[in-house]
Chain A
């Protein structure tokens, strides 16, 4: 993965730049010693690393504004960082950039149950947003699997999803407003406790823009009352095709489960070996969860089981109590840990139309054979968001490159069947160069024109999302302006 050559003029000015930042921040909020900046050299895409010029940890919107104003005047690229859990390299630094971390912005600013929202600083973790309202029976719906660690800022940047978005939507559907600092330091408010925009839907545009349009420091998030209860059912099938048809039939029948998770045989085997959840050994497993009162759950599950039986399942397991429900989820929730035990792995994130599921799984099997690398599949089947896990050996020469090539082929396959490169992780650097497989030059040009409006010098997270050659003329404008 190529990154732009660092600007030597910026590297040479490091002492002045750091001195200016130190003037507007607390002494421990500017990190510039190389031994310490190393802690920020990568995010969860650990294959790529580069220590930044400096790291700043502002403690207020005003401080974020002051930092950005300085970086704007000094023409220094800024890479915003939430908790650094991006799997796509969204927070990967360049040697000439300032990392702007929101880790110190963790306050809850307002909780309003009558109007069903919470306003938080965006360094707060996803799970602790729910933590702030759960004693009153409320929760924040988007639940990315990194929710214990990931920050709301990163969720907004990547428009994060989760297992339950079939019913509750992703971040953009649960975001009501933001306080955002533009690259020149201007502080703006977009949206709020009311619904919908007066003009263009700028909130919708900012959500998922990977930190390239502004730095979001505060967010107004929709909170919901928890359902009375939830219960999963586990189904095993002897082929991916049949499991895929069952998913489609459930959806067509008018039941809307809160989650439909799919695991294929390689994944089931790994999870079973690791977590011993007692899963049946079969080709495909579905975990379907529904919500409501006990009677409502019974009715929905009754219908779902009736549909499942038509597909000759090798196993149907209903959870009779919380303990059994926990066992059903146990394997699924430990899937990534299980994979990590056996091998290094790369987690993909393409989305496909649900109807293409069997076809795509078959093609992935072929590709896996062709490359000689194992692929396990675990994903959100209700919305077609796949997470193929490619197993490889990082210590083996050439294996990472082989794995990346296989990953690229799988993602191209997703696009080919009418899907997309990334459903919830974001483009970052990981899928940057594949953007041309999904979008024509005119499509990319139009997106880059949006960045021109928000950040004319292309200083915010500049080497992400768009292929480097496509964005080169814009990024070099910033250099020429010096």
Chain B
């Protein structure tokens, strides 16, 4: 059976009345781990509540399709700057991604390196905790330090602390033009060095990725007014040297959409991992992975996407290196999806979960235990 409440009050009632585990989800396109329990879907809570382009703010019910949010923004020449990825190609899932799902999983794309993650754009949340109580935090203004920032805590908590019912977030103008500089033939170490040099320049790089396939393609994205983008392209070309080509407009957009959605690994066999590291550690981590693992670097080298033979423990390859590894796609369930936290933090996380969901019914098994 599936529960699809139509209002926040109904959702609160369903949770209060629940007697067993609930598998909380938005559109179900980003499922992680092996959730169990009765499905509680937020799709019934749908619609944009408020959109003020002049204030760069939108408020939407959690179950609102992401496509609806993006279309409304597009009509005003704005966008979600954190560039949430679409997991469907990579995971082979179907369904309608929701804005609540994006927030619950803190989904951010290539622009995270410059503009920030989903969590950086979140202004407010309403949610129902594990006892069925409706809670709000934050609001719909860009600067707000009134009380604790539960907005950040809820973002990325994957429904384990509460079920989001409404989210408000900051949006940004969509630039008039984009282009990408492509450097050819760099190995991972040289690529990360080039990306770091570009990201450490005043030229506002909004995407910095490297695909080691086909001899190596290193990409840098620039966005803004056309004259400004061209000026910065020239500056960066001069700064970095070597063999370069330029992708403009749709060609650039297309490449970054592919990187965002990791389409290179779509429809493949094997497990997909996502590792977050210090960019300058990336080359060493890749060396440890061995020839059987195919990789892609984003975020200037700080995000490693890896396609590995089934049941390979890539988390182990981070030994002695700061960062974390998430197993995004896998058939078996032997290895934990999420990176274990060190003892004092694990204790805090467990404590928070116990407080927010005393009966342990919200997505049990996800994120820790």
In the complex, the chain A residue whose C-beta lies closest to that of B78 is A254
Is A378 an interface residue, CB under 8 A from the partner? no
Complex partner residue of B139 from A202, A226, A420, A447, CB under 8 angstroms: A420
Question: Beta-carbon contacts of B181-224 to A below 8 Å, as 1s and 0s?
Answer: 00000000000010010011110000000000000000000001
Would A194 and B196 count as touching, CB distance under 8 A?
A: no
Residue numbers in A under 8 Å from B175 (CB-CB): 254
- Taking CB atoms and an 8 Å cut-off, the chain A residues in 131-169 that contact chain B are 137-138, 158-159, 161, 165-166, 169
Q: How far is the CB of A229 from chain B (nearest CB, A)?
A: 9
- Closest chain-A Cβ to B190's Cβ sits at a distance in Å of 13
- A96–B349 alpha-carbon span in the complex (Å): 31
CA distance A207 to B149 in the complex (A): 8
Please tell me if the beta carbons of A446 and B135 are within 8 angstroms of each other in the complex.
Answer: yes
Q: Is the CB of A353 within 8 A of B324?
A: no
**CB neighbours of B172 from chain A (8 A):** 256
Asked whether, in the complex, the Cβ of A189 is within 8 Å of the Cβ of B352, the reply is no
A106 CB contacts on chain B under 8 angstroms: none
Of the stretches A20-28, A53-61, A273-281, A437-445, the one at the interface is: A437-445
The A161-188 residues at the B interface (CB cut-off 8 A) are: 161, 165-166, 169-170, 172-173, 182, 186, 188
Query: Which residues does chain A contribute within 8 Å of B345, judged by CB atoms?
Result: 188, 190, 199, 202
Contact with A along B134-146 (1 / 0, CB 8 A): 1111011111111
Contact of A439 among B136, B156, B351 (CB under 8 A): B136
B94 to chain A, nearest CB (A): 27
Residues of B within 8 A of A226 (CB): 202
B363 interfacial contact with A, CB 8 Å: no
* Cβ of B120 under 8 Å from chain A: yes
Least CB separation from A223: chain B residue: B200
A453–B351 contact, CB under 8 A?
Answer: yes
A353 to chain B: which residues have CB within 8 Å?
52, 55, 57, 140-141
CB <8 Å contact, B106 and A201: yes
Point out the residue from A194, A207, A225, A384 that lies within 8 Å of B323, measured CB to CB: A194
Number of A-B contacts (CB under 8 A): 255
Size of A's binding interface in residues, CB under 8 A: 93
B93 to chain A, nearest CB (A): 22
**Is A354 close to B, CB under 8 A?**
yes
Instruction: State A471–B117 Cα separation when bound (angstroms).
Output: 33
> In chain B between 135 and 177, which residues have their CB closer than 8 angstroms to a CB of chain A?
135-137, 139-153, 155-157, 161, 172-176
Chain B residues with Cβ under 8 A from A443's Cβ?
135-137, 147
The proximity string for A residues 212-227 relative to B, scoring 1 for CB distances below 8 Å and 0 otherwise, is: 0000000000000111
A48 sits at the interface (CB 8 A): no
A367 to B135, CA, bound (A): 32
Give A247 to B155 CA distance when docked, in angstroms.
Answer: 30
Residue among A225, A251, A454 making CB contact with B56, cutoff 8 Å: A251
Chain B contact patch, size range: 35 or more
Q: Is the CB of A202 within 8 A of B135?
A: no
Give the distance in Å from the alpha carbon of A469 to the alpha carbon of B112 in the complex.
42
The answer to whether B77 has its CB under 8 Å from any CB of chain A is yes
Q: Is B280's CB within 8 Å of the partner chain A?
A: yes
The answer on a CB contact under 8 Å between A200 and B349 is yes
Interface presence of B317 (CB below 8 A): no
Q: Which residues of B contact A452 (CB under 8 A)?
A: 355
Q: Across the interface, do A205 and B140 meet the contact criterion of CB distance under 8 Å?
A: no
Give every chain B residue within 8 A of A113 (Cβ-Cβ).
200
B352: which A residues are within 8 A, CB to CB?
A: 200, 450, 453
Interface residue stretch chosen among B225-233, B263-271, B286-294, B306-314? B225-233
B256 at the interface (CB under 8 A from A): no
Question: In the assembly, what is the distance between CA of A77 and CA of B142, in Å?
Answer: 33
A357 to chain B, nearest CB (A): 9
Determine the chain A residues whose CB is within 8 A of the CB of B305 once the complex forms.
none
Residue B341 is within 8 A (CB to CB) of chain A in the complex: yes
Is A201 within 8 A of B119, CB to CB? yes
Q: Do A205 and B153 contact each other (CB < 8 Å), given the known contacts A173-B116, A195-B276, A449-B356?
A: yes
Q: Once the chains are docked, how many angstroms separate the CA of A118 from the CA of B7? A: 46
Q: Chain B 267-305 against A: per-residue CB contact (8 Å), 1 yes, 0 no?
A: 000000000111110000000000000000001001100
Q: Report whether B153 and A204 are in contact in the complex, using a CB–CB cutoff of 8 Å.
A: yes
Q: Do A194 and B152 contact each other (CB < 8 Å), given the known contacts A225-B200, A384-B141, A446-B137?
A: no
B322 and A194: CB pair below 8 A? yes
- A481-B144 Cα distance, complex, nearest whole Å: 35
Nearest to A159 among chain B residues (CB) is B145
B278 touches A115 (CB 8 A): yes
Q: Is the CB of B145 within 8 A of A194?
A: no
**Chain B CB within 8 A of A299 CB:** yes
Out of B137, B144, B202, B278, which one reaches A227, CB within 8 Å?
Answer: B202
For residue A296, which residue of chain B has the nearest CB?
B228
Which chain A residue has the least Cβ–Cβ distance from B176? A254
Q: Are B231 and A293 in contact (CB under 8 A)?
A: yes
A445-462 toward B: CB 8 Å interface, digit per residue (1/0)?
011011111100000000
List the A residue with the shortest CB-CB distance to B141. A351
B35 close to chain A: CB less than 8 A: no
Residues of A within 8 A of B342 (CB): 188-189
The answer to whether B143 and A424 have CB atoms under 8 Å apart is yes
Residues of A within 8 Å of B276, CB to CB, are 194-196, 198
A300: which B residues are within 8 A, CB to CB? 225
Contact B344 A354 (CB under 8 A): no
CA distance A201 to B116 in the complex (A): 14
Residue of A whose beta carbon sits closest to that of B127: A446
* A196 with B106, Cβ < 8 A, contacts A182-B344, A188-B342 known: yes
Q: List residues of chain B with CB within 8 A of the CB of A420.
A: 139, 141, 144, 146
Q: Would you call B225 and A450 a contact (CB within 8 A)?
A: no
Question: Which chain B residues lie closer than 8 Å to A254 at the CB level?
Answer: 77, 173-176
Q: Quick check: is B47 within 8 A (CB to CB) of the other chain? A: no
CA–CA, A425 and B276, complex, Å: 32
Chain B neighbourhood of A195, CB < 8 A: 112-113, 117, 276, 299, 302-303
Residue B150 contacts which of A170, A352, A450 (CB distance < 8 angstroms)? A450
**B156 touching A197 by the CB < 8 A rule?**
yes
Q: Considering the chains assembled together, what is the distance between the CA atoms of A386 and B8 in angstroms?
A: 32
* A255 close to B349 (CB less than 8 A): no
State in angstroms the CA–CA spacing of A248 and B345 once bound together.
Answer: 43
- Considering the chains assembled together, what is the distance between the CA atoms of A253 and B148 in angstroms? 34
A80, CB-defined interface residue at 8 Å: no
Q: How far is the CA of A459 from the CA of B119 in the complex (A)?
A: 29
> Are B55 and A248 in touch, CB under 8 angstroms?
yes
Q: Determine whether B328 belongs to the interface, using a CB cutoff of 8 Å to chain A.
A: no
With a cutoff of 8 Å between Cβ atoms, the chain B residues found around residue A115 in the complex are 196, 278-280, 302
Contact B152 A172 (CB under 8 A): yes
Contact mask A4-36 → B, CB, 8 Å, 1/0? 000000000000000000000000000000000
Complex A-B: 17 CB contacts under 8 Å: A113-B200, A116-B199, A159-B149, A186-B344, A196-B119, A200-B157, A202-B348, A204-B119, A204-B151, A252-B76, A355-B52, A422-B144, A423-B143, A435-B146, A446-B137, A447-B137, A453-B352
Complex A-B, nearest 4 residue pairs according to Cβ-Cβ distance, in ascending order = A204-B152, A248-B54, A198-B324, A423-B143
Spell out A's residues near B (CB within 8 Å).
Answer: 112-116, 137-138, 158-159, 161, 165-166, 169-170, 172-173, 182, 186, 188-190, 192-205, 207-209, 225-228, 247-249, 251-256, 292-293, 295-296, 299-300, 351-355, 380, 383-385, 418-427, 431, 435, 438-440, 442-444, 446-447, 449-454, 465
Given contacts A192-B323, A254-B175, A454-B348, 18 further A-B contacts (CB under 8 A): A115-B302, A158-B145, A173-B120, A194-B322, A198-B276, A201-B153, A204-B151, A225-B201, A248-B54, A251-B56, A251-B173, A254-B77, A296-B228, A351-B143, A354-B55, A385-B141, A419-B141, A447-B137
